[in-house]
């Protein structure tokens, strides 16, 4: 008769969302690297200014948030769309960094597209061969 006392009602406890260390450490690391690299490209050996520092912080934070979001939802995506998302994120990041060096928008777009397609193919291969 006492068995019903140990049963908890569903929905009464709020679920705590636990993120592994890697799920936030990897996006933060990638964001710091991209932000630092963007700042060093724009600085071009001169003195660091507030605008250059802001560019690095904002671009790094945007990449970190996008990487964290993609990492949180990647299991729900089919492998083709997941590979395309990784390709778009990588290609966009490389194109952005290349555009900071003063090259034309067309050159930065082509380089971003080529590296994005390369990442798409590599990611699709990994997802296809490691799928259960």
| 35 found inside a domain | no
| 2 found inside a domain | no
How large is the average pLDDT for residues 20-47?
92
Contacts of 82 (CB under 8 A, 6+ apart): 74, 123, 127
Domain hosting 113: range is 49-129
Phi and psi angles of residue 18, each rounded to the nearest 5 degrees, phi first: -105, 125
| 15 found inside a domain | no
| 27 found inside a domain | no
What is the average pLDDT score of the chain?
89
Contact 71, 96 (CB under 8 A): no
Specify the number of domains making up the chain. Answer: 1
HSE toward the beta carbon, residue 20, CA cutoff 13 A: 5
| 106 found inside a domain | yes
Contact 131, 79 (CB under 8 A): yes
How large is the average pLDDT for residues 106-120?
97
Work out the pLDDT band at 45, boundaries 50, 70, 90. confident
Alpha helices in 15-49 (DSSP H): 21-43
Report the distance separating Cα 40 and Cα 85, nearest Å. 27
Q: What is the pLDDT of residue 131?
A: 79
Q: What is the pLDDT of residue 50?
A: 93
């Amino acid at each position: 008769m006492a068995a019903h006392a140990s049963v908890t009602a569903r929905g009464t406890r709020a679920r705590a969302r636990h993120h592994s260390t890697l799920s936030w450490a990897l996006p933060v690391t990638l964001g710091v690297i991209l932000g630092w690299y963007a700042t060093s490209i724009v600085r071009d050996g001169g003195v660091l200014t507030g605008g250059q520092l802001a560019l690095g912080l904002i671009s790094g934070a945007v990449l970190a948030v996008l990487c964290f979001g993609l990492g949180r939802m990647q299991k729900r995506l089919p492998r083709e769309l997941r590979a395309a998302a990784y390709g778009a994120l990588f290609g966009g990041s490389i194109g952005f960094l290349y555009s900071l060096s003063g090259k034309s928008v067309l050159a930065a777009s082509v380089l971003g597209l080529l590296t994005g397609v390369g990442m798409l193919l590599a990611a699709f291969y990994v997802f296809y061969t490691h799928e259960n």
